Every structure is written in C-alpha cells, then in structure tokens.
Amino acid sequence: MLRFIGKRLVMSLGVLWAASVLVFIMVANSGDPLFDLKMNPLTPKASILYREHLLHLDKSIPERYWIWFTGVLHGDFGKTLHGVPVGPQLFTHMAVTMKMVIPALLLAIVIAISLGVYSATKRGRWQDKGVTFTSFLFLATPVFVVGLFLKFFVAIPIDQHFQKVILSTAGDSSPTATGGFFQRIPDMLSHMTLPTMTLVLAVFSSWVIYQRSTVLDTMDQDYVMLARSKGISKRRVLVRHILRNALIPVTTVIALDFAGLLGGAVITETVYSWNGLGLWFLNGVNALDINVVLAYLMFTATTVIIFNLLADLAYAVLDPRIRYS
C-alpha cells in the first residue's frame, strides 16, 4: 500500500513538473507584460529597464524558469507584476473560493447520491424518468447560464419584491458587515446561497446518472436475488446489501470531477464577482502575469492529485477486495 502511494506521488510530481514547464514556455512566449508601460512615451527608459530587471525579463526563458523553479522548491511562488508576493495572495483568494467550493461539493454529493439511489429504486417509473431528464437538462446547461439565471430571475426579483437584499449577487461578503463570526452568518448566507447552488447544479447531474446506474447494476446481482428469496424485506436488502456495494464506485467519479468543480468556480466567481482564485487567475492571464498563472495551475493540479489519491485509498478501505500493489 505504501509503495503504491509512493509510486503514485512520484508519477504525479512528474506530471506536475511537465505541466509547469509547458505552461511557463507558453505564457513566457505569449506577449510582453510591460507592453502598456512601453507604449507610454513618457516612461523613462531607465524605469522600463528596472522593471524588466525586477521581473527577470532581461534573462532567457530557461533562466527565468530556473529562478521560478528553485523559488517554488523553497516555498516561494515569486511576485506578481506589481511586486506583491504570490504565495499569500494565493491563500487569501483560496479562502474565498473554498467558501463556495466546499459547501457545494458536500451538498452535491448528498443530493446526487440520494437522487441516484431514489431514481434507481423507482426504475422505469415517472419519478425515475423525471430525475434522469432533470439530470440531462443540467448536464446540458453551461454553468454561466445557470448562474446568470439564478442571479437575474431568482435573486433580483426576490430582492425587489421584499425591497431589501435577501440574496446578494455580488461579492463573497458585504464590506460593511461587522461583528464576530456568528453575527456575520446571515450576511455570509446571503452571499453564499446562489453561488453554491450554481456550482451544485453544475456538477451534481453526471453523478446522479452514474449513481443510478451503479445501483441498478448491483440490483441485478445474484446475491441480491438470494437475499430477497430468503425473505429479507426490500428495504433491508437495499440498505444492507445493495447500497453497501453501490456507494463505492461513485467516490472515484466525484474525485475525478474535482477539476471540473474548480473550473466551474472560475465561471461562478465571474458571474457573482467573487474575488476568489478563479477571478484572480483570469486577471493574471489577461495581464500575462506568469507567476500568478503558474501558482493557480500548480495549486489546482496539486489539489486534484491529492483528491484522486484519497479517492483511491478510500476505495481500498471501503472495498476489501481491492488491493493495490
């Protein structure tokens, strides 16, 4: 088991390293981050040279990569174009994004598993068809359409009807909110509800379809028929015999989709103007801020790798038949 984890970690680090090289070369070749500064005829030559020196733009791309790489090994992600250290910025923006990603992930797991199981127990009936159709509907809806719909046709009408902001549509908290953690809870809920819902609706549907089909597959197993023929009630068979096996495979699917969840967060943050990782990354890409782009990509990739590893381990714990070697 330990050898399996070790092997996986080494392979993942290789993938991460390759990704950083590719992204570095791509972003470094994509344009001059100081273009605007240079286009301004009033900028003194010396200050351009100084900025270039600060950003290492006067060095070759392999040299710049080496500076970045050795920095990361020391836990230093470099500085943004404006000279602010990237590391602390990454963590403040991450805290904002996690406020929507973690509740959305938990909610989506609960909703998807219960809907999938429910749908499978009603196989072929209208409840089943309804759940499947709804899942397909949300699978086909782009995240920004869900987000904009909730923003303009749910939040704004409600707020207008009650003449006050019940569901906030901008930012992760009100700048005016004061007091301790518990006093700020209503404000946080008002800001978090819709973005979290958007993210849930963006990811839950494929899990529902998957969960439903695993339960159906398990239902057709011989041991289920045996349990039923022994006279065990339908309910008990479902809980004790079917679900125990049918809840395992979905862990892998959810872990693999974590990258998609972070991608969805980029869109949700744009729609609801949350100053989280996604918006930070988008601004970094637009400004050609190579350290910001790399920090974001390395962070998301590492999170996804850790999630996948955890899912594999959980799989082995949940299903004793699985052995990694």
Amino acid 66 reads W
Binder of another protein out of 4, 69, 149, 315 (CB under 8 A)? 149
Instruction: Give the span between the Cα atoms of 138 and 89, in whole angstroms.
Output: 34
- Member of 137, 170, 185, 317 binding another protein (CB under 8 A): 137
Q: Which residues pair with 79 in a beta bridge?
A: 85
* Of the residues 77, 204, 274, 281, which one makes contact with another protein according to CB under 8 A: 281
Helix, strand, coil in percent for the chain, rounding step 5: 75, 0, 25
Of residues 155 through 214, those in contact with another protein by CB under 8 A are: 156, 209-210, 212-213
CB closer to another protein, 36 vs 185: 36
Q: How many Cβ atoms are within 10 Å of 137's Cβ, its own excluded?
A: 11
Contact pick of 111, 282, 316, 318 for another protein (by CB under 8 A): 282
Which one, of 1, 5, 103, 76, lies nearest residue 306 by Cα? 5
Closest CA to 86 of 281, 261, 227: 281
Q: Which amino acid is at 312?
A: D
304 binds another protein (CB under 8 A): yes
Q: Tell me, rounded to whole angstroms, the distance of Cα 175 from its chain centroid.
A: 25
Q: From the CB of 50, what's the least distance to another protein, in Å?
A: 26
Which string of x and - marks every residue 13-32 that binds another protein (by CB under 8 A)? -xxx-xx---x--xx-xxx-
Does 148 help bind another protein (rule: CB under 8 A)? yes
How many chain residues touch another protein (CB under 8 A)? 57
Structure tokens at 51: 């900025």
d(CA 115, CA 109): 10
CB of 123 to another protein, least distance (A): 5
Amino acid at the residue 89:
Q
Site string for another protein, 239-258 (x = CB under 8 A): -----------------x--
CA–CA gap between residue 321 and residue 315 (Å, rounded): 10
Residue type, 300: T
List contacts with another protein (CB under 8 A): 11-12, 14-16, 18-19, 23, 26-27, 29-31, 123-124, 128, 132, 136-137, 139-145, 148-149, 152-153, 156, 209-210, 212-213, 216, 256, 259-260, 262-263, 266-267, 270, 281-282, 285-286, 288, 293, 296-297, 300-301, 304-305, 308
